[in-house]
Amino acid sequence: DIQMTQSPSSLSASLGERVSLTCRASQDIGSSLNWLQQEPDGTIKRLIYATSSLDSGVPKRFSGSRSGSDYSLTISSLESEDFVDYHCLQYASSPYTFGGGTKLEIK
């Protein structure tokens, strides 16, 4: 199975700050990675698909990129509603696998 190592597991940041979250894949997954956002009530929403494509309605401060086996979600300027949980998911091969998640907290 492909392992996805997500870092950091938690991140404390300030409003307006630029942050990046990373998922490292244990095997080649090409561009088959999505980023998900989870609200405190459990609601899950996709932000980025296929590594770098922004979902409709998602603010442009969110972006996705890849460098080798490292996949990043960058938020260019944090707003209050961004302080929730984030997950990556690889779908290159079954079984699909998630990263461990990142909890973004306000400093």
| Closest separation in Å from C-beta 94 to another protein | 4
The answer to whether residue 40 forms part of the interface with another protein (CB under 8 A) is no
**Which one among 11, 54, 89, 92 touches another protein, defined by CB under 8 A?**
89
- Are 75 and 19 in contact by the 8 Å Cβ rule? The answer is yes
Distance CA 71, CA 88 (A): 9
Q: List the interface residues with another protein, window 49-88 (CB under 8 A).
A: 49, 55, 87
Among candidate residues 9, 46, 6, the one with its CA nearest the CA of residue 23: 6
Distance CA 66, CA 33 (A): 10
* Residues of the shown chain interacting with another protein in the complex, contacts defined by CB under 8 A: 1, 6, 34, 36, 38, 42-46, 49, 55, 87, 89, 91, 94-101
